[in-house]
Structure 1
Amino acid sequence: MEAKIGINQDNLAKVAHSLSNILADEYVLYTKTRRAHWNVEGPDFYNKHKFFEEQYNDLETIVDEVAERIRKLGHYAPASLKQILELTHLTEDDRGKNDAVSYIKALLADHESILIHLRENIDNYSGPLRDAGTSDYITGLLEKHETMAWMLRAHLS
């Protein structure tokens, strides 16, 4: 059923597509964080294993929230790995070792990439697309990624 929420259907489709890209990025980052949790090795194994678990739990919540935001706008969230890989701007490439520093650097780079992408697009939601709700949601999402990036960065000092 068509969502009649004060935003024209063309704009809703554009917002949903943009959110689908964000969802794909979040899902890839979630998966990479799970990989770090499962495979990290080294003398600080236990602490980093628990740290990555906290991060992937936060990302799991974000993935669900972004998908639900898409549904609130009357569109379907991408839900196959093929769709996710077609929509993400992140890479699955894994060139690092299984030590905490390698994982932290890779995950931090992805969080920072997502932050840049969110900042570059945030004004489009409240401006031309006339969706203040999504703009507000993206602001909150941006703040979550800033915190997660800060936590990762703190491990590299």
Structure 2
Amino acid sequence: MDTTRDTPAAPAIDIGLDAQDRKQVAEGLSGFLADAYTLYLKTHNFHWNVTGPMFNTLHVMFETQYTEQWTALDAVAERIRALGFPAPGSYAEFNRLSSIAEEPALRESTDWREMVRQLTVGNEAVCRTARRVLQVADEAGDDPSVDLLTQRLQVHEKYAWMLRSLLQ
């Protein structure tokens, strides 16, 4: 029995944003998601591999940050889906879309200061991407995306400040 003929098709998306605006915001959010995921992965990596006199402080700090970041990734991906587009979800897509370069493998001698420096720079990159996409979403009248990006911007600015403070 073919039930596909009896099942009504999903209606077209009609959330008060035209298709072109939704597409532009979703593309921007995809780049933001790629940056945020790359930063998440780097933060988790450093949590696992930090050594030295700042071990305990940084191990805990990095865990707090990557745990918060992990949860936020889902909200960004779900916003892309709500706009009607597939969220990127592979390393290849994230690498292509991200403005944050993947670092070479850590050496045993990688200093905690270098880890903190890289995470400071990474959080600032996420902030710059958030600001660009926020402008696109604002021009489109996409208040939920503006709200989401504003919240993420506040978090990553705080992380950048906290990390930078360790190096001063």
The answer on whether the counterparts of 2:29 and 2:133 sit within 8 Å (CA) in structure 1 is no
SS at the partner of 2:41?
helix
Gapped runs of 5+ residues in structure 1?
A: none
Residue type matched to 1:9 in 2?
A
The separation in 1 between residues aligned to 2:79 and 2:145, in whole angstroms, is: 8
Aligned Cα RMSD in Å? 1.6
Q: Name the residue aligned to 2:95.
A: 85
Aligned match for 1:99, one of 82, 102, 111: 111
Larger Rg: 2
Q: Is 1:132 aligned with 2:143?
A: yes
Aligned match for 1:58, one of 64, 68, 73: 68
SS at the partner of 2:167?
coil
Q: Is 1:114 aligned with 2:141?
A: no
- Listed one character per residue, the Cα deviations across residues 68-118 of structure 1 (whole Å, up to 9, x for unaligned) are 111121221111111111111110024875322110000100111221222
Q: Name the residue aligned to 2:55.
A: 45
Residue type matched to 1:71 in 2?
R
The answer on whether the counterparts of 2:29 and 2:76 sit within 8 Å (CA) in structure 1 is yes
| Count of residues paired in the alignment | 156
Q: Name the residue aligned to 1:156.
A: 167
Q: Name the residue aligned to 1:143.
A: 154
Q: Name the residue aligned to 1:4.
A: 14
The answer on whether the counterparts of 2:17 and 2:141 sit within 8 Å (CA) in structure 1 is yes
Residue type matched to 1:142 in 2?
L
- Listed one character per residue, the Cα deviations across residues 53-81 of structure 1 (whole Å, up to 9, x for unaligned) are 11111111121111111112122111111
SS at the partner of 1:76?
coil
SS at the partner of 1:155?
helix
The separation in 2 between residues aligned to 1:89 and 1:54, in whole angstroms, is: 23
Percent identical pairs in the alignment equals 37
The separation in 2 between residues aligned to 1:116 and 1:13, in whole angstroms, is: 20
Gapped runs of 5+ residues in structure 2?
A: 1-9
Using the TM superposition, name which of 56-65 and 29-38 deviates more.
56-65
The answer on whether the counterparts of 2:116 and 2:163 sit within 8 Å (CA) in structure 1 is yes
